[in-house]
Structure 1
Amino acid sequence: MPHIAVARLWFEANSFAPEPASLEAFKGREWIAGDAALTTYRGTATELGGLEAFLAERPHWSATVLRCTSAQPGGPMEDRAFATWWEEVSAGLASREWDGVYLSLHGACLTESEPEADLAIIRMVRGIVGPNTPIVASFDFHANISPELAGLLDGASAYRTYPHTDMAECASRALHLLERAIGGERLHASIVKLPQVLHSFHMRHQSGPMAEVWEMAKALETPDLPDVTIFGGFAWGDSPTAGPSAFVWGVDHAEARATARQLTDAIKSRFPRFAVNLPDTKEGLARALAAPEGLVALLDPADNPLSGGACDTPELLRTLVDAKLEVETVFAFLHDPAIVAEATKAGEGAPFRASLAGRTTPAFGPPVPFEGVVEKLTHGSFLNEGPMEAGAPVDLGPTAVLRTGKLSIIVTSRKEAAVDPAFFTLHGIDLTRVRLLANKAKNHFRAAFQGRCSAIVECDAPGPAALDLLRLPFRYVPEAWRHPVG
């Protein structure tokens, strides 16, 4: 009867975001352990949902779920938050012997003092459980993978979709490798990295250069190569191991190595097709309004919360306000608890004046003057419709919708990406009546909205995840890796 330990720290850090990720950011999104973790996420499209399904099929297995936590991407994780999580997890790991360990990680976590936090976690776990206890991990596709992991893990897998709709399946793949390891089978790992940081705009799994490499990886899997994984890396995570890579598990080490090199060669040969050029916000707005009838999306990736944005940069909002639009427009969203509190105090229907955005830093532009009304107030809680993280609970904290003319502006107390239809339903917004949806988002938005929009237009604005990497103060990523490809 195998008994395994489970722990989770899922966090993607943008080294240039204006606010660090606090302990409260993790406790406010996901802070769970024990049987409650399995009960809460049963049937959801998440790693913990995949774990619960895997265990349900193996009644002779048991698991102790230690502290599991996640936060929306943001600035580096505060050391205090990391220490709080690790103190609890390390005590649990040291409390007994285990048949195996499953770690649900991201792969692009940074803390205030550790530029390779996921690697540090796996080193420390290995130090507690010893060299003979199998350890497997699941990762986000945007992980910045260290080659050292090949000697620390007994199995690993990553998301094979972008937008990420296969989180549960990813956990299952990693757990199947753990099952093989517990059964006594030894697999060899090979990791090959490329010295280049790539933007992720053209890494979607449905089409484009990375989709082709994903198909190649899938075709290369065999019983002797049970997991063939590629990573795109995370461009705004200042890590010594930033950039794309391949991570292959095989019965024969030489075959695994050759396969990993084949995949990285395939990515490298497609470098020119990963190049990105985007219009500014004014040109982006003009293109969006010229699109065919129906809902059209105008995306601001530079402040995308799923790339570590603060949902606080003003450029796109200023463009919308200045345009005095004559079509129904929704702006999603600003993260500003103080504005929500002021709107709540004023009440629905009350006149409202404020300076919006630019709360966290003046680096991306001054605030935007606003004069309008409080259109709606909400409690901020809903369940994702999916397909991404379908069924998972979301808590935005209290929220407000402000309105001026044809423009509605959503403001939240907590930062959670507006990539699920239920986000808008919560705020009383009927998207069939909206012409323009301006959103701080990127590729994950497409999971639920590609089929709902007549067009999706991306623009570039000042922000912590802006296109020009050469202007950012990297410390660990070599300068030569940051030059645009193409």
Structure 2
Amino acid sequence: MPKIAVARLWFEGNSFTPIPTGMDAFLSREWIAGEEVLGRYAGTAMEMGAVASFLAKHPGWSATVLRCASAQPGGPMTDEVFEAWMGEVMPALRAGGFDGVYLSLHGACVTESDPEADLTILRAVRSAVGRDVPVTASFDFHANMAEEAATLLDGASAYRTYPHVDMDVAGARALDMLERRIGGGAVLHGAVAKRPFVLQSLNMRSAEGPMAEVWALAAELEEGAVCEAFPFGGFAWGDSPHAGPSGMAWASDAGAVRAAAERIAAAIEARRGRFAVFSPSPEEGLALALKGPPGLVALLDPADNPFSGGIADTPGLLRVLVQNPPPVPTVFAFLNDPAAVQAAASAGVGGRLERALAAQVTEAFGPPVPFSGVVERLTDGRFVNEGPMERGAPVDLGPTAVLRSDALRVIVTTKKEAAVDPAFFSLHGIDLGATRLMANKGKNHFRAAFAERCSMILECDCPGPASLDLAALPFRHVPKAWLQPG
């Protein structure tokens, strides 16, 4: 009876976010092991959901589910968290007794002292289990993938959608590769081909645009000896020696795999200039949004997008809404401000609240915004994602509040979880059918659930830790020449 080990460390680190991501962020989202993992994620559209499904379909297999951890993207992971995870997983793997290993990783993890943490994990896993135990992994599309990674794995997969609605599919593909290898299937060769530049990800959607064309090419390459071929867009705000886009492929023929990976990387390079995006200011964006077609219009602030490591605290877009109050029902989602939630709870529903909002973490992106209004709603912050992204996954925002000033509602939360699911708004009593303008700290993942709900979606350019102007950020591991648009 085959026995596999499963472990997960899913974290995307923004090197320019001023707050390190510590254990609290993991404990509030995911820091679990064993049967609890399978029980929580069974039936969900996530990697561990794929593990639960795989085991249900393979009753002769068993899995030891080691530490599984994830947190919302944020500042570099503290060394304490990384060492705790490594300190649990590596001794268990060194103890042996496994026929294979499946890893759920992000690919753009940076810690306080390690700018290539995913590669560090792969090296340690390979050292722990030796060369004879097959190891496969699944990655986020935004991985900053090291070329060496292909030499440490026996197979890999990645999300093929952006927004990422196929996390479970990527996990299933990696598990299928592991099953074939354990069952005596052909040894696969892997290759990663990189290019020396970094791209910001606003124009990398899988439904349209230049990256959609690259994904289509990669799918055509999956024939004959090539069983897996896919691009990585990279994570621009992770200051890593391996930053930037790449192509990865797996094949039974070493020559075919290198050629496939190179073709994917070349396809990205040929479209480099098309990934550059220039967005209006928040003032200009608001004016355009109010002139938009009937229905719900979304005005997004990508520079403080939690899924890009944003802090949900920058004041730029909120200031424009407060100083120029839209004459239509408007919701601002959201601010991660535990103190404001506590103040709202003290005032009670219907109570008045006057305080400064935003820029509570840092004023590096602008000063706080004076706010005067009433407390409209208080919640426990718990809901289950409707999807399609992370469908079925439980979310805990901690206590939250809805603050209202005339037609403007502002959602404040105790924990930082992106407002990209309709259930986020249902929890807060927001009728999207009666809302004209949604100002959201989001980017492409927002579109998974809202592209069809919105009559128009606009992005604006505000100061923030995921700024569009990469050349203005203080990179240490990425050459400045890599940051210029092609």
The bucket for the TM-score relative to the shorter chain is: over 0.9
Contact 2:425 2:431 in 1 (8 A): yes
Contact 1:305 1:415 in 2 (8 A): yes
Is residue 76 from structure 1 mapped to residue 76 from structure 2 by the alignment? yes
Match of 1:43 in 2: 43
Matches within 5 A, 1:310-459: 310-459=311-460
Per-residue CA deviation, residues 163-198 of structure 1 (Å, 9 max, x unaligned), is 000000000111111112212321001110011101
The CA distance in 2 between the partners of 1:71 and 1:324, in whole Å, is 34
Q: Which amino acid aligns with 1:439?
A: N
Per-residue CA deviation, residues 26-79 of structure 1 (Å, 9 max, x unaligned), is 110011111111111111000000111111111111101001010000000000
Matches within 5 A, 1:224-235: 224-235=225-236
Match of 2:64 in 1: 64
The alignment partner of 2:190 has SS state of strand
Q: Which amino acid aligns with 1:447?
A: A
> What displacement does 1:224 show?
2.1
Is residue 208 from structure 1 mapped to residue 209 from structure 2 by the alignment? yes
Contact 1:331 1:407 in 2 (8 A): yes
Distance 1:61 1:464, change over 3 A: same
Is residue 292 from structure 1 mapped to residue 287 from structure 2 by the alignment? no
Match of 1:21 in 2: 21
Per-residue CA deviation, residues 262-314 of structure 1 (Å, 9 max, x unaligned), is 11111111112111010000000011111001100000000000000000000
Match of 2:149 in 1: 149
The alignment partner of 1:454 has SS state of strand
Match of 1:89 in 2: 89
Q: For structure 1, which segment, 183-192 or 438-447, has the greater mean C-alpha deviation from structure 2 after superposition?
A: 183-192
Q: Which amino acid aligns with 1:250?
A: A
Is residue 469 from structure 1 mapped to residue 467 from structure 2 by the alignment? no
Match of 1:134 in 2: 134
Contact 1:282 1:319 in 2 (8 A): yes
Q: Which amino acid aligns with 2:130?
A: G
The CA distance in 2 between the partners of 1:223 and 1:348, in whole Å, is 64
The alignment partner of 2:28 has SS state of helix
The CA distance in 2 between the partners of 1:468 and 1:360, in whole Å, is 22
The alignment partner of 1:217 has SS state of helix
> What displacement does 1:84 show?
1.3
Q: Structure 2: state its 5+ residue gaps.
A: none
> What displacement does 1:208 show?
0.6
The alignment partner of 1:39 has SS state of helix
Match of 1:163 in 2: 163
The CA distance in 2 between the partners of 1:46 and 1:222, in whole Å, is 27
The alignment partner of 1:401 has SS state of strand
The CA distance in 1 between the partners of 2:91 and 2:39, in whole Å, is 23
CA RMSD in angstroms, aligned pairs only: 0.8
Per-residue CA deviation, residues 129-186 of structure 1 (Å, 9 max, x unaligned), is 1121111110000000000111100010100000000000000111111112212321
The CA distance in 1 between the partners of 2:126 and 2:465, in whole Å, is 34
Q: Which amino acid aligns with 2:16?
A: F
Q: For structure 1, which segment, 89-98 or 414-423, has the greater mean C-alpha deviation from structure 2 after superposition?
A: 89-98
Instruction: Provide the TM-score with structure 1 as the length reference.
Output: 0.99
Per-residue CA deviation, residues 198-226 of structure 1 (Å, 9 max, x unaligned), is 11111111111100110111121125211
Instruction: Provide the TM-score with structure 2 as the length reference.
Output: 0.99
> What displacement does 1:97 show?
2.0
Matches within 5 A, 1:179-198: 179-184=179-184, 185-198=186-199
The CA distance in 2 between the partners of 1:237 and 1:96, in whole Å, is 34
Q: Which amino acid aligns with 1:41?
A: Y
Contact 2:96 2:129 in 1 (8 A): no
Match of 1:221 in 2: 222
The alignment partner of 1:120 has SS state of helix
The CA distance in 2 between the partners of 1:87 and 1:256, in whole Å, is 34
The alignment partner of 1:21 has SS state of coil
Match of 2:178 in 1: 178
Match of 2:306 in 1: 305
Q: Which amino acid aligns with 2:359?
A: G
Q: For structure 1, which segment, 90-99 or 143-152, has the greater mean C-alpha deviation from structure 2 after superposition?
A: 90-99
Match of 1:100 in 2: 100
The CA distance in 2 between the partners of 1:247 and 1:398, in whole Å, is 42
Q: Which amino acid aligns with 2:179?
A: E
Q: For structure 1, which segment, 252-261 or 80-89, has the greater mean C-alpha deviation from structure 2 after superposition?
A: 80-89
Q: Which amino acid aligns with 1:300?
A: D
The CA distance in 2 between the partners of 1:477 and 1:4, in whole Å, is 37
Aligned length: 485
Is residue 118 from structure 1 mapped to residue 118 from structure 2 by the alignment? yes
> What displacement does 1:86 show?
1.5
Q: Which amino acid aligns with 2:207?
A: Q
Q: Which amino acid aligns with 2:36?
A: A
The CA distance in 2 between the partners of 1:470 and 1:306, in whole Å, is 21
The alignment partner of 1:75 has SS state of coil
How much identity, in percent, do the aligned residues show?
Answer: 62
Q: Structure 1: state its 5+ residue gaps.
A: none
Contact 1:304 1:440 in 2 (8 A): yes
Q: Which amino acid aligns with 1:44?
A: T
Q: Which amino acid aligns with 2:279?
A: L
> What displacement does 1:95 show?
3.1
The CA distance in 2 between the partners of 1:322 and 1:192, in whole Å, is 49
Contact 1:97 1:129 in 2 (8 A): no
The CA distance in 2 between the partners of 1:345 and 1:248, in whole Å, is 56
Contact 2:272 2:485 in 1 (8 A): no
Q: Which amino acid aligns with 1:40?
A: R
